[in-house]
């Protein structure tokens, strides 16, 4: 497990928000976000401060030697590659691509759909500023992958266009939400994922002027 992953998990386990940790270290919220996304690395005095605050050694924070936490290497098959490619295209062609919704499948639900050959993708969610939903993929009418998510807008200045721009940058190796880090002006998007394509969970947030204004938790995996 690398430093950015350790920092994210320890902070969550200790009950600190990024704002609270930033205040404790006298750094900006954006600095914490960049450390946790692997975009930058703290100076030695901040590493020492983190070790004291969380009651762990600096060696623990910086060394990638936690054998008990090593995850098995994910074996990607051609079938997985095809599924990943389809998921990425479907995401970019629906909500992130600002495509129109289809008829509601449930009372007041928002539904989006994308089809290609024998593959079908449906994203359906409830709510607006506080929302919950599910994305799923079928192959030959058999479910093969799904993801549940739940999020909320916390403060003003939330930009749906910025979120969609971030989600259009969804990476091939982690085809779930957006990239680890994305920025446009004063808006910063951060996404952290634990696990692999078969079984994963993650968290994304948006900062505006270093203040968290949006967050979303998600989890899912392959269906057999």
Look up the pTM and report it: 0.70
One domain, residues 121 and 35: no
Neighbours of 139 (CB within 10 A): 16
Domain end position, chosen among 25, 49, 69 = 69
For 150-162, the pLDDT digits (tens) are 999 999 999 999 9
- pLDDT > 90 in the chain, percent: 73
Choose among 159, 135, 157, 151: nearest CA to 215: 151
Q: What is the DSSP letter of 199?
A: E
Determine the angle formed by the axes of helices 18-25 and 29-37, rounding to 10 degrees.
110
Q: 170 and 94 in one domain?
A: yes
Query: What's residue 1's pLDDT?
Result: 72
The four Cα atoms 6, 7, 13, 18 give a dihedral, to 10 degrees, of -160
Which residue, 154, 156, 153, 181, is CA-closest to 166?
A: 181
Question: Could you list the residue range(s) of the whole structural domain that residue 191 is in?
Answer: 78-222
Q: Which residues of the chain have pLDDT under 70?
A: 65-78
* Per-residue pLDDT at 77: 45
List the beta bridge partners of residue 142.
Answer: 139
Domain match, 139 and 210 both: yes
Q: How many domains does the chain have?
A: 2
Cα angle 213, 12, 21; round to 5 = 65
CATH at 58:
1.10.260.40
pLDDT score at 71? 41
Is the same domain home to 31 and 85?
A: no
pLDDT reported for residue 186: 94
Instruction: Report the pLDDT value the prediction gives residue 67, as an integer from 0 to 100.
Output: 42
- For residue 29, give the nearest of 177, 202, 37 by alpha carbon: 37
Same domain for 154 and 50: no
Residue where a domain stops, chosen among 69, 100, 122: 69
């Amino acid at each position: 497990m690398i430093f950015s992953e350790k920092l994210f998990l320890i902070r969550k386990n200790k009950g600190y928000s990024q704002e609270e940790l930033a205040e404790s270290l006298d750094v900006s919220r954006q600095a914490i976000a960049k450390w946790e996304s692997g975009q930058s690395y703290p100076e030695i005095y901040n590493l020492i401060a983190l070790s004291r605050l969380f009651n762990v050694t600096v060696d623990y924070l910086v060394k990638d030697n936690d054998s008990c936490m090593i995850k098995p290497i994910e074996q990607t098959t051609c079938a997985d590659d095809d599924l990943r490619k389809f998921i990425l295209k479907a995401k970019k062609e629906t909500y992130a691509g600002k495509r129109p919704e289809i008829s509601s499948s449930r009372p007041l639900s928002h539904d989006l759909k994308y089809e290609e050959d024998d593959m079908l993708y449906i994203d359906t969610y409830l709510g607006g500023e506080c929302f919950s939903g599910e994305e799923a993929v079928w192959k030959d009418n058999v479910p093969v992958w799904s993801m549940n998510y739940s999020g909320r807008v916390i403060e003003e200045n939330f930009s749906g266009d910025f979120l969609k721009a971030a989600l259009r940058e969804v990476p091939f190796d982690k085809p779930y939400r957006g990239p680890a880090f994305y920025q446009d002006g004063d808006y910063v998007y951060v996404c952290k994922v634990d696990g692999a394509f078969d079984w994963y969970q993650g968290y994304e947030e948006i900062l505006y002027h270093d203040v968290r204004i949006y967050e979303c938790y998600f989890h899912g995996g392959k269906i057999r």
